[in-house]
Amino acid sequence: MAEDVTKTADVAVMPGGWAGVRGGVLQALQGSKGYYAALIISGLLLLAAVAAGLHAKYIGTMYAYGASREVPWGILISTYVFFVVTSTGLCLVSAIGHVFGVKDFMPIAKRAIFLSIMTIMAGFFVIAFEIENPFRMAIYNVISPNLTSNIWWMGTLYGAYMFFMAIEFTFLVLNKPKIATIIGFMGVVAGVAAHSNLGAVFGMLHGREFWYGPYMPIYFIASAMMSGAATIIFFTWLAYKANGQKMDAAMKRALEVTTKVGILLISVILFFTAWKFITGFVGGEAKTAALDMLLTGSYAFNFWVLEVAVGMVIPLALFILSKGQNLKLIVTASALMIFGIFFMRYDLVIVGQLVPVYYELGVNEYTQMLSYTPSAHEILIVMGGIGFVGLTFLLGEKIFNGHKSEIH
Amino acid sequence: MILNKIKIEGLKKEDPGIIPAMERRAFLKMGLLITGVFAGGSVLSATSIVEKAFASSGEFAEKYPYKPHYSMVIHQDRCIDCELCMTACVKTNNVPTYGYRTRVFERDDQKATERKREFIPVLCNQCNNPPCVLGCPTKATYKNPTNGIVMMESKKCIGCKTCMAACPYNARYFNEETSAVDKCDFCFNSRLSKGEKLTACAEACPAKCRVFGDLSDSGSEVYQAVHNLEKTVWVLRPDAGAKPNVFYMKG
């Protein structure tokens, strides 16, 4: 029996086709203790999230979640945003090589595409517990679409995006890179359209000053690239670490150029953030109040430490110091970025709602800023989303044999 | 008369009968424009209308888009915070204890010379440009094409809460029983569709603070109030650009 497994696993080392995948499945059964431990932890996180989500539905989300009438969107929405931004970013970074033909980027493409599918699924997993009636959604999104709704476009386009990415990945596994490239291009178009619509979900709310305007869709796309670069660097490193393999020159070069993408996009987002604040301070009282919360108020730690320092400035410095060569610095930078960006999304979604809509009316009921604290149910579901990415990443590395690329 | 002393060539003699009619028309138009501006979003006193009205779009008020165009005028200074409106609303529309469709805010002004506290009733503004309707993915919330009321079709509500985040007036809450967002519908389902003429809150108000009616009917009390140049009429959060149909005034 053990012999058989080894035999099949040997076949899997040879690249390509479903035979390799079959071998990979068997290979997944042979892993180090650390691999299994990570797999089990991820799986447990996922199960705990399902339990928490179902329990929340059972007792009513009003009781289970921290979200309220005044702050209807909580950490589940911001985590959804985090995952889909990451997914779009991975898709875009993978497309530089795989769709647009920049050779240096090709070694990271396959893993990036796989992770982009898994991160969007993690996003859908989290939002499934946020949406009160997913079954109604399945029906009425189709038979009663509202074409002025960005939520509708976002959902529909992300559906198309996930479909294209899955097909693209399948063709890559089947060793048909030409068709994969065409489908990949469609994936990019759907992804950009979907993602800018997600930005517009916030940007089109003309009653919410903090979000309203053309800034959000543009910011979201730039921000996605930033996330994508960080995520692919981190997971590529993790994969090699887990497999105990050494990177070849092409992969090292790929990480070096991805680092450059990281440097560029962090700079862009710093620039965007600076102007958001500078323009915001000449705005109305409500907008200024939101910005104050981030600069000096209750979200100042999140903003200065997590978003600015951990999410952008320190990684930028590390990326530059690494000269694209020092892997330790590069990986530390990308891990910090992923962590910081999670809070970037959180602040964006939450702070946008914390200024009461009647703040400027000056009524006694709304003299203070609102507050929101994630509940245990919500945090468990978020952890489950992370568990889902962990679980599928680990399985994917084995099943698809370390995403060894045939296209470079 | 000065006009008789100045001889300007080509100056036409006007029929005295025409002038008042024209003035009346201009006056009326000004009134309509005021409403347009209020609805579109500025708080103006009658004295500044000419300057400001023409700088803004008045087309909305030239012709009210709905028939009947339901609207509410809230005479803010008449509110005594008895909350009978809230009680009537809860009873009429089966509003659960954790939610509300209408409520009454308090606003204190310690520097005020006479009364130091005023009350501000709020409800769904049944906007003409409603952010909630724009954002709803499944048309679960929509403008009633006849009367302009922002309605809910609960069975289509997926519970994404975009409408709640979108509403500039915090007029929406999630109803656990129907598993759908709930909001004020000017008592359309509970009363108007059954032949009643008033909303429950307007009927319950002992101070005649809430006046409900058809803005497209020039004889209605709401029309008369909104088009009264002697009074200042305003809307809440004009900055949101939602073109609300709930107007506020004093006196």
**pTM greater than 0.80:** yes
Q: A180, A168 in Cβ contact below 8 A? A: yes
Can you spell out the DSSP letters for B94-111?
A: T--TT--S-EEEEEE-TT
Q: Is the pLDDT of residue B56 over 60?
A: no
Q: Is the pLDDT of residue A7 over 60?
A: no
Q: Is the pLDDT of residue B44 over 60?
A: no
Closest approach of chain A CAs to the CA of B190, in angstroms?
23
Q: A380, A100 in Cβ contact below 8 A? A: no
Give the up-direction half-sphere exposure of residue A66: CA atoms within 13 A in the CB hemisphere: 17
Distances (CA, A) of A357 to A111, A286, B39, B230: 44, 8, 18, 30
State mean pLDDT over A104-109: 94
Q: Residues of chain A with pLDDT > 90: what percent?
A: 82
- Residue A192 pLDDT: 96
Distances (CA, A) of B179 to A81, A125, A136, B95, B174: 24, 20, 11, 13, 7
Give residues with Cβ within 8 angstroms of A56, minimum separation 6. A64, A65, A129, A377, A381
- Residue A118 pLDDT: 97
Q: Is the pLDDT of residue B24 over 90?
A: no
pLDDT tens across A171-181, in order?
Answer: 999 989 899 99
**DSSP 8-state symbol, B71:** E
Phi, psi of B152 (to 5 degrees): -120, 135
Closest approach of chain A CAs to the CA of B8, in angstroms?
52
Torsion of CA A12, A16, A19, A24, to 10 degrees: 40
C-beta atoms of A132 and B158 within 8 A: yes
For A121, the 3-state DSSP assignment is helix
CB < 8 Å to B122, chain A? 358
pLDDT tens across A64-90, in order?
Answer: 999 999 999 999 999 999 999 999 999
Size of interface A-B (CB pairs under 8 A): 139
**DSSP 8-state symbol, B12:** P
Q: Is the pLDDT of residue A2 over 50?
A: no
CB < 8 Å to B175, chain A? none
- Residue A27 pLDDT: 64
- Residue B247 pLDDT: 94
Tell me the C-alpha distance between B221 and B211, whole Å.
7
Give residues with Cβ within 8 angstroms of A178, minimum separation 6. none
Cis preceding linkage at B68, omega within 30: yes
The residue assigned the tokens 């915001």 is: A280
pLDDT tens across B167-198, in order?
Answer: 999 999 999 999 999 999 999 999 999 999 99
* Mean pLDDT estimate for chain A: 91
- Report the residue from A133, A207, A364 with minimal CB separation from B131: A207
Domains annotated on chain B, with CATH: 65-249 (3.30.70.20)
Q: How confident is the model at residue A10 (pLDDT cuts 50, 70, 90)?
A: very low
The ipTM value here is: 0.89
The amino acid at residue A17 is: G
Tell me the C-alpha distance between A43 and A92, whole Å.
28
> Among B219, B232, B66, which Cα is nearest to B143's?
B66
CB < 8 Å to B157, chain A? 132-133, 136
- Residue B119 pLDDT: 96
The residue assigned the tokens 């759908």 is: B180
Q: E strand or H helix at A331, and its extent?
A: helix A327-354
CB < 8 Å to B110, chain A? none
Tell me the C-alpha distance between A201 and A217, whole Å.
9
**DSSP 8-state symbol, B44:** B
Q: Where are the domains of chain A?
A: 31-402
State mean pLDDT over B67-83: 94
- Residue B32 pLDDT: 44
Q: How many CB atoms lie within 10 A of CB A179?
A: 14
CB < 8 Å to A137, chain B? 137-138, 158, 160
Q: B39, B243 in Cβ contact below 8 A? A: yes
CA A136 to chain centre: 26
CB < 8 Å to A209, chain B? 239
Distances (CA, A) of A88 to A149, A196, A231, A310: 20, 10, 11, 22
What superfamily would CATH give domain A31-402?
Answer: Formate dehydrogenase/DMSO reductase domain (1.20.1630.10)
Distances (CA, A) of B128 to A72, A151, B97: 23, 21, 29
pLDDT tens across A364-381, in order?
Answer: 999 999 999 999 999 999
- Residue A207 pLDDT: 83
Q: Is residue A368 within 8 angstroms of chain B, CB to CB?
A: no
Q: Residues of chain B with pLDDT > 70: what percent?
A: 75
Range picked from B13-17, B26-30, B197-201, B223-227 for highest mean pLDDT = B197-201
Q: Is residue A142 within 8 angstroms of chain B, CB to CB?
A: no
- Residue A41 pLDDT: 97
Q: How confident is the model at residue A316 (pLDDT cuts 50, 70, 90)?
A: very high
C-beta atoms of A208 and B241 within 8 A: no
Tell me the C-alpha distance between A126 and A117, whole Å.
14
Q: Residues of chain A with pLDDT > 70: what percent?
A: 92
Q: How confident is the model at residue B42 (pLDDT cuts 50, 70, 90)?
A: very low
Which of A154-158, A206-210, A262-266, B187-191 is the least confident region?
A206-210
Which of A3-17, A262-276, A338-352, B85-99 is the least confident region?
A3-17
- Residue B226 pLDDT: 87
Distances (CA, A) of B146 to A300, B64, B70, B213: 49, 11, 10, 14
pLDDT tens across B139-163, in order?
Answer: 999 999 999 999 999 999 999 999 9
Closest approach of chain B CAs to the CA of A136, in angstroms?
6
Query: And the tokens for A196?
Result: 């800018």
